[in-house]
């Protein structure tokens, strides 16, 4: 596994510390999870953007919710 070092301001460090303590995980694990989540979101965004650019058909959110059974 590679190591990445970032610098953050004091407020961000404090917030990370509070969140990691509350979640019972290390700052490193919290940061790793946040980075993975961001990468996945960006990949999803680029995939959707590509579909729009290629003029692929879209499905309204309500239809997706109905199809996967997430209705209340």
DSSP string, the chain: ---------HHHHHHHHHHHHHHTS-HHHHHHHHHHHHHHHHHHHHHHHHHHHTT-----HHHHHHHTT---
pTM of the model: 0.68
Interval 18-27 mean pLDDT: 96
Mean pLDDT estimate for the chain: 92
pLDDT of amino acid 37: 98
């Amino acid at each position: 596994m590679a190591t990445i070092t970032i610098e953050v301001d004091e407020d961000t460090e404090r917030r990370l510390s509070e969140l990691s303590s509350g979640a019972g995980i290390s700052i490193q694990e919290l940061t790793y999870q946040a980075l993975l989540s961001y990468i996945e979101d960006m990949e999803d965004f680029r995939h959707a953007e590509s579909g729009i650019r290629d003029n692929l058909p879209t499905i309204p959110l309500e239809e997706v919710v109905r199809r996967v059974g997430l209705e209340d």
